[in-house]
Amino acid sequence: MTVLEAEKLTKDYGDLVALDALDLTVDAGEAVVLVGHNGSGKTTFLRMAAGLLDPSSGEVTIAGNPAGSLEARADLCYIPDNPVLYDDLDVWEHLEYTARLHGADGWEKRAEELLEQLGLIERIDDLPATFSRGLRQKTSLALAFVRPFKVLLVDEPFVGLDASGQATVLDLLDESARAGVAVVVASHQLEIVSRSSRCVALRDGELIYDGAADAADVLSLVKT
């Protein structure tokens, strides 16, 4: 079942075309890695799918609903490369607020598991505002996974993470795909490519490869 569908999705800034008429579908349970050089359009695509950017033309839907609609927001989880957190809430309060806004049931157990996995259980009462970049990224990951979703979009998940954090991220992504979530990860990390079933490559906003991840020559795909 298709849960993410982009149809002639285009984003331009005057003469500069960030994404050019992209057609893409992702099914439930599929693990897709999105590769491309800097400025190739990966983040633009993810942000349009998350409803944070308006397409210049074309459309993108999440589980049949237009990106950015209330229904799409309920089904989608977007993890940006730059963690965005509140200054005045501790880790647990962040989790509670997010889970309750999404109407998640039984979030407490899931939250504890995630904090344990991410090594944040000892920092549960601390303010993420005082954390290092890596710990903030881990908090952001815990917030993302504390509630249910059908589509997971992740932009450069390894930024600022230590080795154990990276391993946890990979486990969480695998776990999500196994649970039937469509996972789309923008990354240059070969480890993620090797764990994905499908690779999509962009160059200057255009789709240049869409096929099996193990058959992709990633290094040549990310060349400018």
Partner 1 sequence: MRRERRAWRVADIDWIDALYKAYLTGIVGIVSIALLSAWAGGDRVATSTAQKVAADGPALLGLLAAVVVTVGLRSGERGGPLAIEAADVRHVLLAPVRREIALGPIAQRQLRHVAFTGGLVGIVAGQLAFRRLPGNDIAWIVAGAAFGASLAVGFAGAAMTVSGRHVRRPLGSLVGVALVAWSIVDVLTDHLTSPLSFFGRLALSPIRFHVVDVVPALALLALAALGYASIGGTSLESSERRAALVGQMRFAVTLQDVRTVLLLRRQLAQELPRSRPWFRVNRGPAVWVRDWRGVARWPKGRIARVVALGAVAGAAARAVWDGTTPLIAVAGLAMFVAALDAVEPLGQDLDHPDRGSSVPIVAGSLHLRHLSTAFAVTLLTGAVGLATAVAIGPDRALTAQVGAVTLVVAAGAAVAGAAGSAITSDPASRGEYAALLPPEALGSITAMRLVWPAAVAIAGFVPVVVARAAYTSTNPTAPSPVQAATSVGIIVLLVVAFVGAWVRFRDDARKWMSDAFAEAKASTGASSS
By rule CB under 8 A, what string of x and - marks binding of each residue 113-142 to partner 1?
------------xxx-xx------------
Q: Is position 171 an interface residue for partner 1 (rule: CB under 8 A)?
A: no
Strand pairing of 31-35 and 182-186?
parallel
In the bound state with partner 1, the residue whose beta carbon lies nearer, of 103 and 180, is 103
In the bound state with partner 1, the residue whose beta carbon lies nearer, of 103 and 211, is 103
Q: Is position 51 an interface residue for partner 1 (rule: CB under 8 A)?
A: yes
> What is the total count of residues that contact partner 1 (CB under 8 A)?
31
Q: How far is the CB of 13 from partner 1 (least distance, A)?
A: 14
**Cα separation of 149 and 157, whole Å?**
18
In the bound state with partner 1, the residue whose beta carbon lies nearer, of 110 and 198, is 110
Nearest to 3 by CA among 99, 101, 71: 71
Binds partner 1 (CB under 8 A): choice among 1, 2, 86, 217:
86
**Cα separation of 145 and 155, whole Å?**
15
Helix 163-178 with 107-118: angle, nearest 10 deg: 140
Q: 88: how many CB neighbours lie within 10 A of its CB?
A: 7
Strand pairing of 65-66 and 76-79?
unpaired
Binds partner 1 (CB under 8 A): choice among 6, 49, 50, 182:
50
Backbone angles phi, psi at 198, to 5 degrees: -140, 145
In the bound state with partner 1, the residue whose beta carbon lies nearer, of 89 and 222, is 89
Measure Cα distances from 12 to 16, 46, 72, 204 in Å.
6, 15, 23, 12
Binds partner 1 (CB under 8 A): choice among 41, 55, 80, 165:
80
Q: Which residues bind partner 1 (CB under 8 A)?
A: 50-52, 68, 70-71, 73-74, 76-78, 80, 84, 86-90, 93, 96-98, 100-103, 125-127, 129-130
